[in-house]
Amino acid sequence: MPGTAALAAWVEDAARLTRPDKIVWCDGSEEEYQRLVGEMLANGQMDRMNEDAYPNSYLYRSNPNDVARTEGLTFICTEREEDAGPNNNWMAPKDAKEKVRPLFEGVMRGRTMYVVPYLMGPVGSPHAKVGLEVTDSAYVVCNLRITTRMGQPALDQLEKNGGEFFPGLHSVGDLSPDRRFILHFPEEKLVWSIGSGYGGNALLGKKCLSLRLASWMGWKEGWMAEHMLILGLQDPSGNVTYMGGAFPSACGKTNLAMLVSPLADQGWKVWTVGDDIAWLRPGPDGRLWAVNPENGFFGVAPGTNNATNPNAMASLSKNTIFTNVGLTPDHRPWWPEIQPGEKTPPAGTINWLGHPFEEQPDAAVAHPNSRFTAPASQCPSISPHWEDPQGVPISAFIFGGRRARVAPLVYQAFNWQHGVFVGAGMGSETTAAATGKVGVVRRDPMAMKPFCGYNMGDYWGHWLTMGKQIANPPAIFHVNWFRKDDDGHFLWPGFGQNVRVLMWMHGRIHGTADARETAIGYVPTPDSLDLDGLDISSKTLGQLLTIDKHDWEQEWTDQVPFFGQFGDHLPAAVAAEHQALKRRLDAMPE
Ligand code: GTP
Ligand code: SPV
Ligand code: MN
């Protein structure tokens, strides 16, 4: 069956199941966007932002029980449970469908079914994938229009891809978490999501297709799908060194990808290629090449301002959808630190729950996981190569966590295999990006714990295999912008100043920066970091670069049961690196 006919047949089946009153095929046009926004403004689901300050921008408040990804309700449905692994919730495909099909039956009665063909990846890229989402949420459609290439580009690519497309069935259902399921069928390359309209639960091109299904496909086909930003660091000679960075949700990818360098006058500048997802393939030159499958950002609002991230502020200055932020009396968005240092909003600001914040002094004004959806093309630092069909060549991978203790500002792995172990052992404090407790250290290997669509042990095996297949594998680093002093203050200024750490990496890659060898990897010598113009004491720098034997022994011990869960799926090389770390820690002086 030709691509479009197969697409139509799939939609017909979805409609037979969900029984919408109306089916609307979306083309991604401006007129269509305005019509949908107009409907949501009219029915009270959206508010218009101040047209002078934030043209063509809107506020949406989600259901208060639907504000972040719900990992406990997210499933990988493979024939064999061990293919999903201990890192995922699992249901057999047949059981999952039997359980969830009744929730979809007739769910769209009285509603419109929107049919959204979309493209993940640059137009014309051999790596681009066609998705098809059917949804009963106009808000989801509007977000897809910003974060994907929607409509004709997808249909055009369908023919080039031999008709291959990745369907996703989505309904907000009744929004009850008791009837919420985000189901992935990697063997069928299918997604079913019901009961949530928020972010990664509902924009099926993002985490569901571009990470969970794509990571499975990468494993089977010899490429990689990673929860990574992609940036280019331009040096004073004008050369650009590309890096991919995997930090867990709400741990700094968007901010690092859009960094404004305080050393721009010396020729150091950062270009943004992507802020959340990278698809990587070996190129003919023996390097890994990365594309950003997305067309826009779904970025964390709180903390974003003109000092921390001016490029994000410019990106969200127009044509943006704000979700769960506060609304000031003059219809501007509000979140903590929207102006540097601002903790309280203007009088009369409406909180994310829709009430004057003064009436609910105990509620957050903006939800901690409030976000902006903005076109990537509006980012002032967007790379001239961000839509290159083949992507950009990656020279470094940066793993990162949010750790008040333990992890130093930066260190470099000894080699690829050790780097894979560094990623596999990553721990990070949980954030508001997923429901559940915030600030608890959990293992989040390669920042992929919530997104790896198969057994994480096999995933590490795949990383090791990829390293053998590429002649010039990227150097691997680990960073921590979030180390704190005993009073709970961040030791490192972060944000734009992180360029100094990127410069050290650049020096390591190009053979010009010094390091000292420690038990965990190479750590900068104090004078190998360029701290010119930065007010930081040598005591603070010492704290930032300290490797504490006891902290690391504790870390090592925490990793034991974690790696243990994977049984035979744990690659021998990862187990060997874990043991080697123990020997180096034992040899460390007290
Ligand atoms: P997802 O979109 O959830 O995958 O997150 P992300 O990794 O893109 O996180 P993002 O860059 O949006 O950062 C999340 C939070 O961390 C924001 O509140 C930022 O202000 C804060 N943050 C980012 N970079 C830094 C930094 O260098 N230092 C400090 N202290 N905070 C940072
Ligand atoms: C994340 O949680 O890592 C995000 C936001 O990027 S969401 O798309 O909701 O998953
Ligand atoms: Mn993310």
Say if CB 242 and CB 273 are below 8 A apart.
yes
Query: Which amino acids are annotated catalytic?
Result: 251
Please give the Cα distance from 218 to 186 (Å, whole number).
Answer: 11
How much is the average pLDDT of 489-493?
A: 97
Coil/strand/helix, residue 90? strand
From the CB of 403, is ligand 2 less than 6 Å away? no
pLDDT at 490: 97
Average pLDDT over residues 56-76: 97
Residues 303-335: tens digit of each pLDDT: 999 999 999 999 999 999 999 999 999 999 999
Is 588 a residue whose pLDDT tops 80? yes
- How far is the centre of ligand 1, averaged over its atoms, from the C-alpha of 68 (Å)? 16
Going by alpha carbons, the residue nearest to atom 10 of ligand 2 is: 200
What pLDDT shows up at residue 526? 86
Q: Is the pLDDT of residue 395 over 60?
A: yes
Ligand 1 near 493 CB (within 6 A): no
pLDDT at residue 520 in the model = 98
Atom of ligand 1 nearest to the CA of 433: 3
Query: Each residue of 569-582: pLDDT tens digit?
Result: 999 999 999 999 99
Indicate whether residue 69 lines ligand 2 (CB < 6 A).
yes
Q: Is 250 in the pocket of ligand 1 (CB under 6 A)?
A: yes
Q: Which residues pair with 69 in a beta bridge?
A: 434
Q: What is the mean pLDDT of the chain?
A: 97
Q: Is the CB of 296 under 6 A from ligand 1?
A: no
Going by alpha carbons, the residue nearest to atom 7 of ligand 2 is 200
DSSP state of 555: H
257 C-alpha to ligand 1 centroid (Å): 10
Task: Summarize pLDDT for 217-272 with one digit per residue, the tens.
Answer: 999 999 999 999 999 999 999 999 999 999 999 999 999 999 999 999 999 999 99
Residue in 198, 210, 255 to alter for ligand 1 test, most ligand atoms within 8 A of Cβ: 255
Distance 298 CA to ligand 3 centre (A): 8
The tens digit of pLDDT for each residue in 499-556 reads 999 999 999 999 999 999 999 999 999 899 999 999 999 999 999 999 999 999 999 9
Asked if residue 247 has its Cβ within 6 Å of ligand 1, the reply is: yes
Residue-wise burial string across 306-331, b where 16 or more C-beta atoms lie within 10 A, e elsewhere: eebbbbbbbbbebbbbbbbbbbbeeb
Q: Does the structure show a pLDDT above 70 at 107? A: yes
| pLDDT confidence of residue 174 | 98
Task: Please tell me the distance between residue 32's alpha carbon and the centre of ligand 1 in angstroms.
Answer: 33
Q: The tokens of 506 are what?
A: 């650049």
The reply to whether the predicted model has a pTM over 0.95 is: yes
How many helical (H) and strand (E) elements, i.e. helices and strands, does the chain have?
A: 16, 29
22's tokens: 């109306």
A 10 A CB-CB count for 586 gives 11
Split at pLDDT 50, 70, 90, the class of 397 is very high
Quick one: average pLDDT of 76-84?
Answer: 98
Cα–Cα separations (whole angstroms), residue 122 to 17, 169, 386, 451, 505 = 33, 24, 8, 22, 28
pLDDT of residue 423: 98
User: Whose alpha carbon is nearest atom 3 of ligand 2?
Assistant: 249
For residue 25, what pLDDT band results from cuts at 50, 70 and 90? very high
Q: Is the pLDDT of residue 353 over 60?
A: yes
CA of 1 to the centre of ligand 1 (A): 45
pLDDT of residue 1: 53
Return the ligand number nearest the Cα of 257: 1
Q: What integer pLDDT is reported at residue 585 of this predicted model? A: 98
Asked whether the predicted pLDDT for residue 3 surpasses 80, the reply is no
**How many Å apart are CA 348 and CA 329, to the nearest integer?**
6
**Span 25-29, average pLDDT:** 97
At 451 the three-state DSSP class reads coil
Q: How far is the CA of 550 from the centre of ligand 3 (A)?
A: 32
Instruction: Give the residue-averaged pLDDT of 89-112.
Output: 98
CB of 275 shorter than 6 A to ligand 1: yes
Name the closest ligand to CA 68: 2
Q: Could you read off the pLDDT of 120-171 as tens digits, one per residue?
A: 999 999 999 999 999 999 999 999 999 999 999 999 999 899 999 999 999 9
**Beta carbon of 450 within 6 Å of any ligand 2 atom:** no
Confidence of residue 2 (pLDDT cuts 50, 70, 90): low
Task: Kindly list the distances between the CA atom of residue 325 and the CA atoms of 43, 133, 329, 504, 554, in Å, as whole numbers in the listed order.
Answer: 19, 26, 13, 37, 39
